[in-house]
């Protein structure tokens, strides 16, 4: 999950500058470029956060399913042990008198 978060890290994004060509003055270019950069960062952050949230929800749902499956498996294992215990008790009670089989 850390890799996903680093894709949209503001410090990493500060290394990337967006350059725009314009015929206007350099002051206008700087403020326009800054505004465009802020907009781009904002949009990337929004997209990144939505992506991270979807991945988080997917992982949370998968973990819930895994927990549910483990609980069911544990219950089934307990039931099997109880049946095995009953079978072994019946064998002990019957002793050598095993049922007739074909």
Mind listing the pLDDT tens digit for each residue in 73-84? 999 999 999 999
Judged against a pLDDT cut of 80, whether residue 17 lies above it is answered with: no
CA 79, distance to chain mean position in Å, is 32
More confident residue, 20 or 94: 94
- Among 57, 39, 55, 61, residue whose Cα is nearest residue 7: 55
- What ranges do the domains of the chain cover? 20-93
Query: What are the residues whose beta carbons fall under 8 Å from the beta carbon of 97, sequence distance 6 or more?
Result: none
Q: Give the pLDDT of residue 69.
A: 98
Mind listing the pLDDT tens digit for each residue in 30-72? 677 788 888 888 888 888 899 999 999 999 999 999 999 999 9
Query: What are the residues whose beta carbons fall under 8 Å from the beta carbon of 55, sequence distance 6 or more?
Result: 1, 4
């Amino acid at each position: 999950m850390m890799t996903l978060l680093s894709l949209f890290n503001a410090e990493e994004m500060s290394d990337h500058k967006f350059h725009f060509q314009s015929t206007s003055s350099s002051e206008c270019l700087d403020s326009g470029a800054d505004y465009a950069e802020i907009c781009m960062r904002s949009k990337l952050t929004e997209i990144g956060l939505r992506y991270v949230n979807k991945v988080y929800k997917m992982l949370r749902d998968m973990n819930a399913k895994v927990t549910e499956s483990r609980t069911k498996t544990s219950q089934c294992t307990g039931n099997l042990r109880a049946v095995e215990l009953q079978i072994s008790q019946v064998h002990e009670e019957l002793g050598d008198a095993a049922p007739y089989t074909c």
